């Protein structure tokens, strides 16, 4: 059974990797572009659509504003990318928002950045997966009722691939990302050329036409004055989801091959250029072809039908969009576990998050992220439009704290050119802070209020964990100045008869103390007399203590007996040695009492009491063969 489990685990995750292979698991620029930039690049699948959804109340006039709004967002993208390029060289080990804010602004801003990032990573997985599934259901409407199942299945596959390690996930994700890039270039290039040549709309005969949402359909008046300005700000805020993932490369500098900073900076430049081209290109095509969001088909899908027709290239684009959106979640799968490990090392998250698994990945962080994202998809029914209002707020909070931290960093460092770099990061901080305010205000009633609650709750959780570790460190600290006190040690072995497991426990007990007592809880008088006679005949030099139990409880009399020893001053330390039967098959555990577990639970909060189990392996020869196979497999 043991060897079967090992074989299945290796089939699923691969062979364990030694620690010295960590350097070989780092990414080159081409693979890193796929692993760390897929989130940002894939956002073009829904960024233009989210802008148009807000502007749809204007009817056809909405198309007049999508390109200017997209251009402003691209300008902000360039500013943030240049700012993060400075962070990459200033923090060659990885300049995540948490690290930069903590080092330069203090603990509280660092925790705000950490909480915002953790929230954003979970939403990145949920939004990317749900949007990717929406691309498939746009092409195959019959799959729409199964959207949540498809989302959760995609998250599970993504989790398994990441558990296999950085290199294998990078290889798996490179092909779909570059196929998507090629098809998007083909779509935008063909669409622009055909547009310049006067190409008109092609009828979408393969799917029912969906009218755009307009003011006339709802009997609404066109917004004016402040309402119109607010509408444009809301559209801008929604379109800013295109910038999510921009910080991922700065966070993951340590995942690049050496020279890490130079490779990361080059990859960041590629990512910003590709994202800007795709976002502006998609917005231009939506404007030129008059595409508006539909109830059952995405904007990118409609553009694909207009430009590429309904043939193989269109379906290839939909499959590639689905793949890159699913894989875009890998940015979060790369950064959430890494941030969790840093927080764990600082004492703000459970220490298990700092440990690498067999494949040198932070396995615990990967699993927790997958579970949280799947829960979010289930709660919001896999609806991208419902998840988007929660999205991007944390991103811009992190942008602001990171850039503000870099300003302080340059003021502290004051090397050549520090003033120019400080001004650049300062402008970036001011711009992203303004966008963060716009995000919160315009999205608050649409769901952003949830994020404003979740982030403070995460901060409270992080502080609570940190206080626990601080108290724990003080409790277990030992200066070594006090002498060790040798205590009277009594060992108790609960018995229910004379057997091989009992004999094994007694042998162990006699090696750790001279005061060993076998304790039998009397439930049946006839059985007690028989055991006493057998015990006297055995004559091993260990006294048998019989404790009556009129109410047939086994555990309570043992607890009372041990407590009485301490109260009467008969001993200073008690060890309870419990014989524990280990059956050959897993199902046989159901046929045996778990006395050791119950006793350990009863004494876990009592001082100066130790509970230990001495296992007796049923079918010892067979068990030894299994252990030999296990050792051979590990070797």
More confident residue, 538 or 593: 538
Residue 497, pLDDT above cutoff 50? yes
Helix or strand or coil: residue 635? coil
Per-residue model confidence as pLDDT tens digits over 434-459:
888 888 888 777 777 888 888 899 99
Contact 426, 407 (CB under 8 A): yes
CA distances from 97 to 170, 467, 535 (A): 24, 22, 69
DSSP annotation of 494: E
* Residue-range domain boundaries for the chain: 25-469, 489-634
Say what the pLDDT of residue 357 is.
59
Per-residue model confidence as pLDDT tens digits over 69-80:
999 999 999 998
pTM of the model: 0.71
Residue 516, pLDDT above cutoff 90? yes
Task: Flag the least confident range among 290-299, 356-365, 520-529.
Answer: 356-365
Q: What's domain 489-634's architecture? A: 3-Layer(aba) Sandwich (3.40)
Which residues contact residue 450 at a Cβ distance below 8 angstroms, ignoring those fewer than 6 apart? 390
Residue 519, pLDDT above cutoff 90? yes
Per-residue model confidence as pLDDT tens digits over 208-244:
333 444 444 444 455 667 788 888 888 888 888 888 8
Say what the pLDDT of residue 4 is.
46
Say what the pLDDT of residue 244 is.
80
Per-residue model confidence as pLDDT tens digits over 6-25:
444 444 445 554 444 444 45
Say what the pLDDT of residue 224 is.
61
Kindly tell me the number of DSSP H helices and DSSP E strands found in the chain. Answer: 24, 5
Name the pLDDT band for 195 (thresholds 50, 70, 90).
Answer: confident
Say what the pLDDT of residue 169 is.
53
Per-residue model confidence as pLDDT tens digits over 349-367:
988 888 765 555 677 888 8
Residue 344, pLDDT above cutoff 50? yes
Per-residue model confidence as pLDDT tens digits over 253-265:
877 888 888 888 9
Say what the pLDDT of residue 25 is.
55
CA distances from 541 to 43, 515, 521, 593, 613 (A): 77, 11, 20, 28, 22
Say what the pLDDT of residue 164 is.
72
Task: Report CA torsion sign: 362, 367, 370, 372.
Answer: negative
Residue 111, pLDDT above cutoff 90? yes
Taking residues 597-620, report their average pLDDT: 83
Please name which of 202, 190, 194 lies closest in space to residue 306, comparing C-alpha atoms. 202
Taking residues 158-185, report their average pLDDT: 77
Per-residue model confidence as pLDDT tens digits over 135-145:
888 878 888 88
Strands ordered across the beta sheet of 573-582: 544-548, 515-522, 489-494, 573-582, 609-617
Per-residue model confidence as pLDDT tens digits over 534-580:
999 998 889 999 998 877 778 888 888 988 888 888 888 999 999 88
Say what the pLDDT of residue 494 is.
92
Taking residues 511-522, report their average pLDDT: 91
Domain spanning 25-469: CATH 1.20.1740.10: yes
Say what the pLDDT of residue 2 is.
44
Rounded to whole angstroms, the Cα distance separating 313 from 301 reads 12
Residue % of the chain over a pLDDT of 70: 84
Which residues contact residue 338 at a Cβ distance below 8 angstroms, ignoring those fewer than 6 apart? 94, 96, 251, 252, 254, 255, 362, 365
Residue 325, pLDDT above cutoff 90? no
Q: What is the mean pLDDT of the chain?
A: 80
More confident residue, 174 or 493: 493
């Amino acid at each position: 059974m043991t060897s079967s489990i090992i074989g299945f685990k290796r089939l699923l995750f691969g062979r364990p990797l030694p620690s010295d292979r960590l350097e070989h698991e780092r990414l080159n620029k081409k693979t890193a572009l796929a692993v760390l930039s897929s989130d940002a690049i894939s956002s073009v699948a829904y960024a233009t659509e989210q802008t148009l959804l807000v502007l749809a109340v204007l009817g056809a006039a909405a198309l007049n504003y999508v390109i200017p709004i997209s251009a402003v967002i691209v300008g902000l993208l360039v500013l943030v990318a240049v700012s993060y390029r400075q962070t990459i060289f200033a923090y060659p080990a990885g300049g995540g928002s948490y690290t930069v804010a903590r080092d330069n602004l203090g603990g509280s801003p660092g925790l705000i950045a950490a909480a915002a990032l953790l929230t954003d990573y979970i939403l990145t997985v949920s939004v990317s997966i749900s949007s990717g599934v929406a691309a498939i259901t746009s092409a195959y409407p019959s799959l729409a009722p199964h959207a949540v199942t498809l989302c959760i299945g995609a998250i599970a596959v993504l989790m398994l691939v990441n558990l296999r390690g950085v290199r294998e996930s990078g290889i798996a994700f490179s092909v779909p990302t570059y196929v998507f890039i090629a098809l998007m270039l083909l779509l935008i290039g063909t669409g622009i050329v055909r547009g310049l040549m006067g190409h008109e709309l092609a009828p979408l005969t393969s799917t029912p036409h969906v009218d755009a949402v307009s003011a006339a359909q709802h009997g609404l008046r066109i917004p004016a004055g402040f309402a119109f300005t607010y509408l444009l700000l809301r559209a801008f805020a929604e379109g800013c989801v295109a910038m999510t993932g921009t910080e991922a490369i700065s966070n993951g500098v340590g995942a690049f091959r050496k020279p890490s900073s130079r490779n990361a900076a080059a990859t960041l430049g590629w990512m910003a250029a590709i994202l800007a081209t795709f976002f502006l290109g998609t917005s231009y095509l939506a404007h030129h072809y008059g595409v508006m969001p539909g109830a059952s088909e995405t904007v990118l899908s409609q553009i694909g039908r207009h430009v590429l027709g309904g043939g193989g290239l269109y379906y290839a684009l939909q499959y590639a969009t689905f793949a890159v959106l699913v894989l875009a979640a890998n940015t979060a799968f790369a950064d959430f576990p890494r941030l969790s490990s840093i927080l764990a090392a600082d004492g703000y998250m459970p220490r298990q998050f700092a440990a690498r698994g067999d494949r040198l990945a932070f396995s615990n962080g990967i699993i927790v992220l997958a579970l949280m994202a799947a829960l979010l998809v289930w709660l919001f029914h896999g609806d991208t439009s419902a998840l988007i209002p929660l999205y991007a707020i944390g991103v811009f909070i992190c942008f602001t704290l990171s850039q503000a931290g870099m300003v302080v960093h340059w003021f502290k460092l004051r090397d050549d050119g520090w003033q120019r770099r400080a001004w650049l990061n300062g402008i970036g901080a001011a711009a992203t802070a303004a966008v963060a305010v716009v995000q919160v205000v315009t999205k608050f009633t649409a769901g952003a209020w949830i994020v404003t609650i979740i982030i403070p709750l995460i901060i409270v959780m992080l502080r609570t964990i940190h206080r626990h570790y601080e108290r724990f460190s003080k409790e277990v600290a030992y200066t070594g100045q006090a002498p060790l006190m040798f205590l009277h040690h009594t060992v108790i072995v609960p018995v229910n008869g004379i057997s091989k497991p009992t004999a094994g426990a007694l042998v162990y007990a006699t090696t750790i103390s001279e005061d060993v007592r076998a304790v039998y809880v009397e439930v049946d008088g006839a059985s007690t007399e028989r055991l006493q006679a057998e015990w006297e005949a055995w004559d091993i030099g260990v006294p048998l203590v019989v404790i009556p139990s009129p109410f047939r409880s086994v555990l309570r009399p043992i607890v009372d007996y041990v407590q009485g020893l301490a109260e009467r001053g008969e001993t200073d330390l008690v060890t309870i040695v419990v014989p524990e039967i280990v059956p050959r098959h897993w199902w046989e555990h159901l046929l045996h009492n778990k006395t050791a577990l119950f006793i350990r639970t009863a004494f876990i909060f009592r001082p100066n009491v130790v509970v230990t189990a001495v296992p007796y392996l049923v079918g010892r020869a067979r068990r030894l063969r299994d252990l030999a196979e296990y050792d051979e497999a590990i070797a």
